[in-house]
Structure 1
Amino acid sequence: MLYLASKSPRRQALLSQLGMEFELVEGSVVETPYADELPEDYVTRLARDKSAAGQKNVAADDIVIGSDTIVVVDQRILEKPKDFDDLQTMFARTSGRVHQVLTAVAVRQGQALEQVLVSSDVYFRSVSALEVQSYWQTGEPQDKAGGYAIQGIGGKFVTRIDGSYSAIVGLPLYETEQLLNRFIK
């Protein structure tokens, strides 16, 4: 059986696009970077930890997917905004600039583990303070890494991407399917 260790409706919808049947499993972990942990290492560790947490709740021969996505600018991790002031700070860093969206996927079956990290560059147009305020009022940025959803209203701030659109949304389809093919014969 295939399990997804995620509460994210975006990841669930993306995994459904691969045409595989799956169920959800609890895979919660503490999402706090270690001191001096690089963003790439942090997001990869979270994906691994989520798959391991999920594996504890299923049979040893079940397959568990764990994934995490972070937004990074100037090697600084932009988590979900705590409040409007936090969102303003995030947009001050990303407005008119390029930033990275890192998505890691870990697939685990018993002790076997395969993982991948996908990095995508996202280019933002300049965003005014009034636009940030209006965007906050939509409610969309509150639970999004980096304070925006490319697949939603926040997509209007994006001028270009170099990388994987589905990874930016939350689960890189191509890479996830490649990992799963190593387990599903």
Structure 2
Amino acid sequence: MTRLILASQSPRRKKLLEQAGIPFHTISSQVEEKTDPTLSPEELVVSLAMQKAEAVFKKNPENVVLGSDTVVSIDGRVLGKPSDKKEARDMLRMLSGRTHEVFTGVAVLSGDKTRTVCEKASVQFYDLSDEEIDGYIKSGEPFDKAGSYGIQGLGAVLVERISGDYFAIVGLPLAKTIRVLREFDIVGDWQA
């Protein structure tokens, strides 16, 4: 049986694969992400997902490796994870009352095959007061999330509406990923 490695320690990505009944284990990629400012958000997340997958695959070539990355984009600017409270506050102010896009890239590698996909979703935020932003920052939730919020947590109260794949916003477009994994003979318990 082929073994799947998730090249991530993201608890959200782990939970989604578990939800789908996919057997896997995790190895953090520990890769220094290389970004190219000339890439579109779609190209960037696929490149980052590939970097993570390749780093783990090099040490585990007998396995299938899945890498994923997520970014937020607004006004042509890509927002990753904030480095501090000020950056988180600036990002949340930028997103307040506006629609932004979330891109999640997925790369799956094996010894004889490579597949990449990208999923995009749009998110509309409510107008946020400074008090709401500061309260959310105090929760600690913004600091390991692209765009400084997590829709699956407390950040859900910031969101007025979404268009697209909710799971792409969380960090792994589950239905699309499951279909790619089938190409590598990786299926959930319910599919076997």
**TM-score normalised to the size of structure 2?**
0.92
Aligned partners of 2:34 and 2:48 also within 8 Å: no
Tell me the distance in 1 between the aligned counterparts of 2:152 and 2:28. Answer: 25
Residue 33 of structure 1: aligned partner:
35
Gaps of 5+ in 1: none
Aligned partner of 1:22 in structure 2 is 24
Counterpart of 1:51 in structure 2 is 53
Name the structure 2 match of 1:173. Answer: 174
Number of equivalenced pairs: 184
Q: Which residue of 1 aligns with 2:158?
A: 157
Q: Which residue of structure 1 aligns with residue 9 of structure 2?
A: 7
Task: Tell me the SS of whatever aligns to 1:118.
Answer: strand
Cα 1:56–1:32 change in 2 (3 A) is closer
**What aligned pairs does 1:1-185 form with structure 2 within 5 A after superposition?**
1-60=3-62, 62-184=63-185
Q: Is the 8 A contact 2:33 2:51 kept in 1?
A: no
Q: Percent identity?
A: 43
Give CA-to-partner distance per residue, 1:22-66, whole Å, 9 cap, x none.
011232322342232222211110111111111112133x11100
Q: 2:89·2:137 contact (CA, 8 Å) conserved in 1?
A: no
Q: Secondary structure at the match of 2:185?
A: coil
Q: Distance in 2 between matches of 1:148 and 1:32?
A: 23
- Once the two structures are TM-superposed, the CA of residue 109 in structure 1 deviates from its matched residue by 0.4
Q: Is the 8 A contact 2:52 2:68 kept in 1?
A: yes
Q: Partner of 1:104: helix, strand, or coil? A: strand
Q: Which runs of 4+ in 1 moved over 6 A?
A: none
RMSD (CA atoms): 1.2
Conservation of the 8 A alpha-carbon contact between 2:61 and 2:110: no
**Structure 2: runs of 5+ lacking an equivalent:** 187-192
